[in-house]
Amino acid sequence: MKIILAEKAGFCFGVERAVDMAMKEAAAAPGKVWSWGPVIHNEEVVREFEEAGGTTLEEGDPVPACGTVVLRSHGVGPEVYQQLDAAGLRIVDATCPFVLRIHRIARETAEAGGFLLVAGDPSHAEVKGILGWAGEYCAAIGSPEDVESLVLPAERPVTLVAQTTFPVKKFQDIVEKLKHCGYSINVVNTICNATRERQEEAQRVAACVDAMVVIGGTRSSNSQKLFEICRSACPRTCFIQTYQDLTTDDIIGAHSIGITAGASTPKKIIQEVLHTCQSYRTSSTSF
């Protein structure tokens, strides 16, 4: 049995930076550091952050009276900065620089009297943050089909951006659908290079194996997108969080197995899954 581990699997630059910043703060002041939402969408990392002395603030939780709040890589809207400033809290901004670029585009679009259209999941933290910087005139769409029910203001110039982890092919399809509907739009492809490379590699690997394993957190949007991409190329694709979720049914009889992981998956978890697949290879005669 052949096992192919994607080179681009695991932490991207923005996620690694955010995790390092959050862990450093938690270790330096245990019990006095909060993250605005999960540090990243990976349950194992969140648990490590909390074991180090940090606390995760979920939506609706009261703002702490004092201490430090770490803004995760997904970014937030301006109202969160204002809320934390008003409470006198120290802010450690771990927003991914690529997300900050989109915030700038959103702010500039609003200041110019334009309309911002975001290709992304409207319920995702990153998209919510981007829309927060766009002011009143903005919207998010998750698929080319959403364009059909879209009504854009004729009197405002429209700028289209994308959630950094949005599928490249789907973004291209949205652009083509908008053109087909006669819209004149300023398109800014804000999908980060790491996402594009990860998705392209995952598709290549999935296309040449009998079974594909995608590792990621259940709340990880980019991991779910990888799963969709891989499943389209390899119907026998499974989605797991850790090696403990992998069963023999997922890979039994496969002569080749591909492994990839979302941007919020630690290297340790990837290696554990790899070793588990290797142990199946050496201990089972089915392969």
User: Do residues 39 and 56 lie in contact, with contact meaning Cβ atoms separated by under 8 Å?
Assistant: yes
CA 109 to chain centroid, in Å, comes to 24
Distance of CA 16 to CAs 10, 60, 85, 162, Å?
9, 27, 26, 21
Looking at residue 144, what is its pLDDT?
Answer: 95
User: Do residues 174 and 152 lie in contact, with contact meaning Cβ atoms separated by under 8 Å?
Assistant: no
E strand segments, 76-187:
90-93, 115-119, 138-141, 158-162, 185-187
Exactly one of 51, 126, 136, 228 is catalytic; which is it?
A: 126
Average pLDDT, the chain: 93
Return the CATH number at 17: 3.40.50.11270
E strand segments, the chain:
2-5, 33-36, 54-57, 68-71, 90-93, 115-119, 138-141, 158-162, 185-187, 211-215, 237-240, 256-261
Q: Are residues 115 and 170 in the same domain?
A: yes
- How far is 83 from 241, CA to CA, in rounded Å? 34
Q: Which residues face 258 on adjacent strands?
A: 4, 212
Q: Are residues 25 and 79 in the same domain?
A: yes
Q: Are residues 227 and 240 in the same domain?
A: yes
Q: Which residue segment(s) compose the domain that 158 sits in?
A: 98-187
Distance of CA 56 to CAs 36, 163, 186, 215, Å?
7, 23, 38, 23
The CB density around residue 172, as the number of other CB atoms within 10 Å, is 14
Q: Are residues 133 and 162 in the same domain?
A: yes
**Strands of 211-215's sheet, edge to edge?**
2-5, 256-261, 211-215, 237-240
Last residue within a domain, chosen from 69, 94, 119: 94
Cβ within 8 Å of residue 136, ≥6 positions away: 110
pLDDT tens digits, residue range 48-89?
999 999 999 998 899 999 999 999 999 999 999 999 999 999
The structure tokens listed for 242 are 């850790």
The CB density around residue 11, as the number of other CB atoms within 10 Å, is 23
Last residue within a domain, chosen from 79, 94, 109: 94
Per-residue confidence at 281, pLDDT binned at 50, 70, 90?
low
Q: Are residues 123 and 162 in the same domain?
A: yes
CA 123 to chain centroid, in Å, comes to 12
Stretch 24-32: mean pLDDT, rounded?
A: 95
Number of domains composing the chain: 3
Looking at residue 284, what is its pLDDT?
Answer: 45
Binning the chain into helix, strand and coil, the percentages to the nearest 5 are 45, 20, 35
Return the CATH number at 120: 3.40.1010.20
DSSP assignment of 162-179 equals E-TTS-HHHHHHHHHHHH
pLDDT above 50: residue 286: no
Looking at residue 282, what is its pLDDT?
Answer: 54
Stretch 134-141: mean pLDDT, rounded?
A: 96
pLDDT above 80: residue 283: no
The CB density around residue 167, as the number of other CB atoms within 10 Å, is 21
pLDDT tens digits, residue range 196-253?
999 999 999 999 999 999 999 888 888 999 999 999 999 999 999 999 999 888 888 8
Q: Which residues face 26 on adjacent strands?
A: none
Looking at residue 285, what is its pLDDT?
Answer: 35
Last residue within a domain, chosen from 94, 126, 152: 94
Q: Are residues 199 and 215 in the same domain?
A: yes
Percentage of the chain beyond pLDDT 70 is 98
Lowest mean pLDDT among 7-11, 20-24, 159-163, 218-222: 218-222
Q: Are residues 209 and 162 in the same domain?
A: no
Cα angle, residue 230 at apex, residues 47 and 244 outer, rounded to 5°: 35
Stretch 123-128: mean pLDDT, rounded?
A: 94
Lowest mean pLDDT among 18-22, 191-195, 232-236, 283-287: 283-287
Give catalytic status of residue 126 as yes or no. yes
Q: Are residues 109 and 86 in the same domain?
A: no
DSSP summary character for residue 136: T
pLDDT tens digits, residue range 251-275?
888 999 999 999 999 999 999 999 9
